[in-house]
Structure 1
Amino acid sequence: MARRIQSSYIVGYDLTRIDGHDYTNLIQTLESSFSPWLHHLDSTWVIVTDLTAVQVADTLRPHMHRDDKLLVVQCSGVGAWFGFNETGSNWLRDNL
């Protein structure tokens, strides 16, 4: 069986936080379903997985409210950033 190639994705979301919706499962799913991952910005993660963007979205959607917004974009390998600590910067260099 051929091994699927891993890709890096930027995952961003806007959470409505209405009706007392609990997002604990969303965060736990991001942390446990994707490895490695980086979460240095409030509502933005960078993950590495062999899933497609649609599969990543399908994994996260059940843990979100119907009025929330989700964006999953495959990274091109080129990026720029500032304000990240050394660990975060190294992670990005190694995984984008």
Structure 2
Amino acid sequence: MLDNSNDYENLYVYIKKFDAWCHYLESVWLVKSSKSASQIRDEAIKYIKNTDKLFVIEVQNHWASLNINKQGVEWLKNIDFEK
């Protein structure tokens, strides 16, 4: 998704407005929101190019990872998915 970070500055501003967020990997962001995945998708498409790909999913308490950055893993461990 990222070919020039300046092109996505408005997307970053949008993402950082969520209750909690983590820039997990280069092109992966985790957010905590009461919005549905489709609501987030519909809002985020205003900030990306027509050729970009966007995948929004709901993550609950059940997740696992391997060889993923420590910051993202700690964020997931500490986030309260119930609130």
TM-score, length-scaled by structure 1: 0.68
What does residue 23 of structure 1 align with? 8
Structure 2 gap segments, 5+ residues each? none
Taking only aligned residues, the RMSD between alpha carbons, in angstroms, comes to: 2.2
Deviation >6 Å, runs of 4+: none
> Are 1:66 and 2:50 counterparts?
yes
Cα deviation 1:12-31 (Å, max 9, x = unaligned): xx34x49xx82110111111
TM-score, length-scaled by structure 2: 0.77
Structure 1 gap segments, 5+ residues each? 1-13
Instruction: Report which structure shows greater RCO (CA 8 Å, sep ≥6).
Output: 1
Query: What secondary structure, in the 3-state scheme, does the structure 1 residue paired with 2:60 have?
Result: coil
What does residue 7 of structure 1 align with? none
Alignment of 1:71-90 (within 5 A): 71-81=55-65, 82-85=67-70, 87-90=71-74
Judging by fraction of residues, say which structure has more helix. 2
Bigger-Rg structure (1/2): 1
Give aligned pairs, total: 78
Query: What secondary structure, in the 3-state scheme, does the structure 1 residue paired with 2:57 have?
Result: strand
What does residue 11 of structure 1 align with? none
One-letter code aligned to 1:39? H
Indicate the percent of aligned positions where both proteins have the same amino acid. 28
What does residue 31 of structure 2 align with? 47
Judging by fraction of residues, say which structure has more strand. 1
Could you tell me how far 1:63 is from its partner in structure 2? 0.6
Instruction: Provide the C-alpha distance between the structure 1 equivalents of 2:49 and 2:69, rounded to a whole number of angstroms.
Output: 30
